[in-house]
Amino acid sequence: MEFLEGKAKFIESWGKMASDWGINRTMAQVHALLLIAPEAMTADQVMEELDISRGNANMNIRALMDWGLVHKQLKSGERKEYFFAEKDMWTVVRQIIINRKKRELEPMIKALDEIASVEPLTPESEHFCEVVQDIRKFSNKANQTLDTLIKAESNWFTNMFLNMVR
């Protein structure tokens, strides 16, 4: 496969996977582009390469910085801002875990805690409470595990994988 074909395919696949996971496709494509860029890029270069508008490029670069996946680089003597992606895969995954946990898992746990105050007075509400308790326990365990994962070192993560498949 040619480099340019591979590059296009990589950007496309990364975007596809992201949109399956509820993440803006273009944001993921910008991320893919910066991941494989050997040097930091300007917003103009991103617009050009992905053929998207200035507003779109700006919005998604900013979102990627919010996620902690992309950083700004200022070059002395230049006014333009340059951007580059975090390349260490474990750090990338960790940042994604941190963000999704905060945005999605924690609100869900909060909602479940409130819901858990329902009294099991009827057969219907009794069953309801049981299901909610199960999910609560599960979510809390997942939350704790993710906290541990977030604190863990890269090699620890590798080791966990190896342990599990052994």
Partner DNA sequence: TTTTGTTTTCAGAATATCCTGAAAATTATG
Partner DNA sequence: CATAATTTTCAGGATATTCTGAAAACAAAA
Residues 79-98 as x/- pattern, contact with its own copies by CB under 8 A = --------x-xx--x-----
Q: Which stretch binds its own copies (CB under 8 A): 45-53, 56-64, 76-84, 119-127?
A: 119-127
Please state the φ and ψ torsions of residue 90, each to the nearest 5 degrees. -65, -40
Strands 81-85 and 70-74 turn out to be antiparallel
Instruction: Output the CA angle 150-156-157, nearest 5 degrees.
Output: 65
| DSSP label at residue 70 | E
Task: Please report whether residue 125 would count as binding its own copies according to CB under 8 A.
Answer: yes
Q: CA-based Rg of the chain, rounded to a whole angstrom?
A: 21
Pick from 52, 55, 65, 54: which is nearest to 25 by CA? 52
Nearest-approach distance from CB 108 to DNA, in angstroms: 17
Residues in touch with its own copies (CB under 8 A): 1-3, 5-7, 9-10, 13, 17, 19-23, 35-38, 87, 89-90, 93, 100, 103-104, 107-108, 111-112, 114-115, 117-119, 121-125, 127-128, 131-132, 134-135, 138, 141-142, 144-145, 147-149, 158, 160-161, 164-165
